């Protein structure tokens, strides 16, 4: 099913017990092709008992350095996920990745992001690790440099066309530098994904749009489809769109809604377990309809008429996303 249009399903969850049990089975069954993580995911995971013994040991050996303790804990999980996914990566370097995010407090510091991203990649020691970087101005500079160094990148918290363009221009420059330095073949290039966030638009804007007769749970989809086409217009074969924030809240939508609606060629969807399990159980999934850019522009015009400024909303969602990750990271350190 997924192979027909080169669509990939990645798991937006990581936790130690899960990796050794359900995740291994999902890989064996061909249900998923990769995984992603973020500070919010690790905030929840590190509360589990399976980390307790290592936490206590690390507190002693690392003199209670909280960030060092955090990195030691998560690097072990990332290394295990990379090990499990390595056969997929070796078979097809477009898949089989696990992402780890740099400290979100570095989002406006390119130099520190590059240093931390390079260090994490080298410390983890697996080729199928993506360094996750927020799509800010500083982030674009860091993305370019990491790609130039041969390190795969996951550009995260992407909501707007300007962000997609910023990511793609950075990757384009990074690949040009990499080619000059490495002389490697295209199949050996580092890979990149642009994580386009979807459902947050709907949760923020649906109540307003509904009052103006615009169907709910559509703005996030249409924006994602628009950005997907902008990205593909660059024809950088080592870069794919990754649809993120694709879980549903409440019971109004079927769990796999955001996966089905964005089932497009050469795309990735990273989803929480509920959505993943629901999608895997579906049969005869057809490629989703992709509106033309003209159709999408018409839709955005109706959204604007309803009083929703898409650019302003995108900016707010980016700022909120950055703050959420900073808060989660802070809470992790406090808990250690």
What are the tens digits of pLDDT across the range 165-183? 999 999 999 999 999 988 7
Residue 287 pLDDT > 70: yes
Residue 137, judged by CB atoms within 10 A of its CB (0-12, 13-18, 19+), counts as exposed
End-to-end Cα separation, the chain, in angstroms = 43
Active-site residue numbers?
Answer: 132
Question: What per-residue confidence (pLDDT) applies to 170?
Answer: 98
**Which band of pLDDT confidence, cut at 50, 70 and 90, is reported for residue 2?**
very low
What's the Cα-to-Cα distance from 295 to each of 88, 169, 291, 309, rounded to whole Å? Answer: 37, 26, 6, 18
Q: What percent of the chain has pLDDT over 90?
A: 92
Question: What per-residue confidence (pLDDT) applies to 28?
Answer: 94
Query: What span, in angstroms and rounded, lies between the C-alpha atoms of 262 and 7?
Result: 10
Chain Cα centroid distance, residue 97? 11
Contacts (Cβ under 8 Å, ≥6 apart) of 169: 140
Query: What span, in angstroms and rounded, lies between the C-alpha atoms of 308 and 280?
Result: 35
Determine the average pLDDT of the residues in 34-39.
95
Alpha helix (H) residue ranges in the chain:
16-18, 24-28, 39-45, 52-61, 66-91, 110-124, 137-148, 161-182, 199-211, 219-232, 257-260, 273-280, 293-305, 310-335
Residue 185 pLDDT > 90: no
Domains along the sequence of the chain with CATH: 2-335 (3.20.20.70)
Residue 1 pLDDT > 60: no
**Which band of pLDDT confidence, cut at 50, 70 and 90, is reported for residue 4?**
low
**Count of beta carbons in the 10 Å neighbourhood of residue 36:** 27
**Which band of pLDDT confidence, cut at 50, 70 and 90, is reported for residue 102?**
very high
Residue 194 pLDDT > 90: yes
* Residue 230: HSE in the Cβ half-sphere, 13 Å Cα cutoff: 22
pTM here is 0.96
Question: What per-residue confidence (pLDDT) applies to 188?
Answer: 83
Residue 72 pLDDT > 70: yes
How is residue 76 written in tokens? Answer: 């072990």
Q: What is the mean pLDDT of the chain?
A: 95
**Count of beta carbons in the 10 Å neighbourhood of residue 210:** 12
Phi, psi of 233 (to 5 degrees): -65, -15
Determine the average pLDDT of the residues in 196-207.
97
Taking Cα atoms as reference points, which of 40, 75, 72, 43 lies closest to residue 56? 72
């Amino acid at each position: 099913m997924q192979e027909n249009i080169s669509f990939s399903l990645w798991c937006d969850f990581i936790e130690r017990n899960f990796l050794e049990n359900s995740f291994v089975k999902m890989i064996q069954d061909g249900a998923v092709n990769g995984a992603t993580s973020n500070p919010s995911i690790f905030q929840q995971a590190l509360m589990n008992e399976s980390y307790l013994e290592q936490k206590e040991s690390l507190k002693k050996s690392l003199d209670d350095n909280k960030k060092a303790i955090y990195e030691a804990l998560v690097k072990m999980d990332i290394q295990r996920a990379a090990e499990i996914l390595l056969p997929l990566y070796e078979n097809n370097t477009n898949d089989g990745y696990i992402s780890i995010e740099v400290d979100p407090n570095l989002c406006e510091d390119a130099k520190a992001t590059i240093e931390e991203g390079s260090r994490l990649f080298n410390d983890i020691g697996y080729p199928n690790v993506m360094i996750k970087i927020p799509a800010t101005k500083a982030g674009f500079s860091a993305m370019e440099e990491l790609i130039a160094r041969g390190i795969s990148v996951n550009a995260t918290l992407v909501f707007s066309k300007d962000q997609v363009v910023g990511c793609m221009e950075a990757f384009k420059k990074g690949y040009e530098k990499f080619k000059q330095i490495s002389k490697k073949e295209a199949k050996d290039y580092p890979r990149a994904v642009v994580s386009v966030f979807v459902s947050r638009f709907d949760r923020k804007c649906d109540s307003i749009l509904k009052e103006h007769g615009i169907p709910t749970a559509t703005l996030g989809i249409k924006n994602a489809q628009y950005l997907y086409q902008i990205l593909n217009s660059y024809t950088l074969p080592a870069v794919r769109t990754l649809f993120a924030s694709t879980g549903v809240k409440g019971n109004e939508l079927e769990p796999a809604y955001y996966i089905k609606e964005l089932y497009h060629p050469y795309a990735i969807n990273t989803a929480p377990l509920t959505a993943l399990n629901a999608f895997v159980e579906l049969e005869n999934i057809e490629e989703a309809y992709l509106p033309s850019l003209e159709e999408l522009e018409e839709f955005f015009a109706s959204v604007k008429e309803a009083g929703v400024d898409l650019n302003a909303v995108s900016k707010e969602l980016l700022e909120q996303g950055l703050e959420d990750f900073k808060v989660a990271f802070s809470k992790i350190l406090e808990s250690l």
